[in-house]
């Protein structure tokens, strides 16, 4: 109780301290959505960024050096997910690992009952419920910040997974306040997930990345990318999904999105 009060007080102090000018310049230059936010949202975001950068550790991998541009470009995109609601700043996450470009991992996957295939795949980001860390490719982060309407954003995707873990399971359900909200969420996600799977199997083009057909956790992460990057299209084509995300995030990205109509 006292600890949490101290934490809250420390965070409040961090949020209200003057934002470093050189950081602001970098954000204005590299994070395209930032200039489209309302003045009050920009101020709230900068406050969250100060807490985020004070609490998370960054590590460069593969010889990559973490410059200020890297810190603020990741923080600004991650903290967009925190606006307008009470937040504990991705509590399970301690360290963010950054590779210069994509990185290779050995992946073992089951292809038959007793058959496993091992292969080397390249990745742009990942995180896990018990990892305490999140991995990102700087190349993908930079691209995501520069193009806010292509439907893809590795930072939003991986940090959406962290929100999913806040209620202790990687099940595509973030922390929702009431039982009613949980039931409504479950009903919408179940039917939207099923239709993405069906579309994926029959090869019908979809607005949502079909990677979301993997499981409910990936479905949530992919939906969050679409919510912030293609809000008009998502609202038109998946109004119930849009409404659930809008209720959870307490945001309406249509208001600040650079996405064109149609
Ligand atoms: Zn994912």
Residue 261, pLDDT above cutoff 70: no
> Roughly what angle, to the nearest 10 degrees, separates helices 138-146 and 68-80?
60
With the C-alpha atoms ordered 249, 175, 130, 56, is the resulting torsion angle positive or negative? Answer: positive
Q: What is the pLDDT of residue 98?
A: 98
Q: CA-CA distance, 74 to 29, in Å (whole number)?
A: 13
- The Cα–Cα gap between 183 and 179 comes to 6
CB 251 within 8 A of CB 84: yes
Map residue 57 onto helix, strand or coil.
strand
pLDDT greater than 90 at residue 193: yes
| Nearest C-alpha neighbor of 38 from the set 205, 262, 251, 226 | 251
Distance 216 CA to ligand 1 centre (A): 10
Q: Average pLDDT in the 165-173 region?
A: 92
Q: Please, what is the average pLDDT of the chain? A: 95
User: DSSP letter at 202?
Assistant: H
DSSP 79-138: HHTTTTS---SSTT--EEEEESS-EEEEEEEEEETTEEEEEEEEESEEE-TTTSEEEEEH
Integer Cα distance of 253 and 72 in angstroms: 21
Q: How far is the CA of 63 from the centre of ligand 1 (A)?
A: 25
5-33: pLDDT as tens digits: 999 999 999 999 999 999 999 999 999 99
Q: Which residues of 102-127 are buried (b: 16+ CB within 10 A; e: fewer)?
A: ebeeeeeeeeeeeeeeeeeeebbbbb
Q: Quick one: pLDDT band at residue 110, thresholds 50, 70, 90?
A: confident
How do strand 133-137 and strand 95-99 relate by DSSP bridges?
parallel
Helix (H) or strand (E) holding 239, with range, is: helix 239-249
Lowest mean pLDDT among 20-24, 40-44, 108-112, 168-172: 108-112
Distance (angstroms) between ligand 1 centre and the Cα of 108 equals 17
CA of 159 to the centre of ligand 1 (A): 9
- Residues lining ligand 1 (ion), CB within 5 A? 218, 221
How close is the Cα of 155 to the center of ligand 1, in Å?
10
Distance (Å) from CA 14 to ligand 1 centroid: 30
pTM score of the predicted model: 0.94
CA 19 – ligand 1 centroid, Å:
32
pLDDT, tens only, 144-167: 999 989 999 999 999 999 999 998
Please report which helix (H) or strand (E) contains residue 59, including its range. strand 57-60
Q: What is the pLDDT of residues 221-251, one digit of tens each?
A: 999 999 999 999 999 999 999 999 999 999 9
């Amino acid at each position: 109780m006292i600890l949490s009060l101290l934490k809250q007080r420390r965070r409040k102090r961090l949020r209200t301290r003057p934002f470093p000018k050189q950081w602001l310049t970098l954000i204005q230059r590299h994070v395209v959505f930032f200039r489209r936010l309302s003045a009050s949202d920009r101020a709230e975001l900068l406050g969250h960024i100060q807490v985020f950068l004070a609490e998370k550790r960054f590590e460069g991998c593969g010889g990559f050096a973490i410059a200020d541009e890297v810190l603020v470009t990741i923080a600004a995109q991650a903290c967009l997910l925190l606006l307008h609601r009470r937040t504990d700043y991705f509590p399970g996450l301690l360290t963010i690992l950054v590779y210069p470009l994509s990185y290779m991992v050995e992946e073992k996957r089951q292809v038959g009952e007793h058959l496993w295939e091992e292969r080397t795949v390249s990745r742009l980001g990942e995180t896990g419920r018990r990892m305490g860390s999140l991995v990102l490719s700087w190349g993908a982060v930079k691209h995501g910040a520069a193009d806010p309407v292509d439907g893809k954003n590795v930072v939003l995707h991986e940090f959406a997974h962290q929100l999913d873990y806040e209620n202790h399971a990687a099940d595509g359900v973030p922390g929702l306040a009431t039982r009613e909200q949980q039931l409504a969420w479950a009903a919408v996600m179940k039917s939207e997930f099923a239709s993405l799977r069906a579309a994926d199997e029959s090869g019908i083009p979809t607005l949502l990345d079909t990677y979301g057909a993997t499981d409910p956790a990936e479905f949530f992460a992919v939906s969050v990318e679409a919510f912030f990057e293609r809000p008009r299209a998502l609202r038109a084509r998946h109004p119930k999904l849009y409404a659930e995300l809008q209720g959870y995030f307490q945001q309406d990205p249509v208001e600040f999105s650079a996405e064109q109509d149609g």
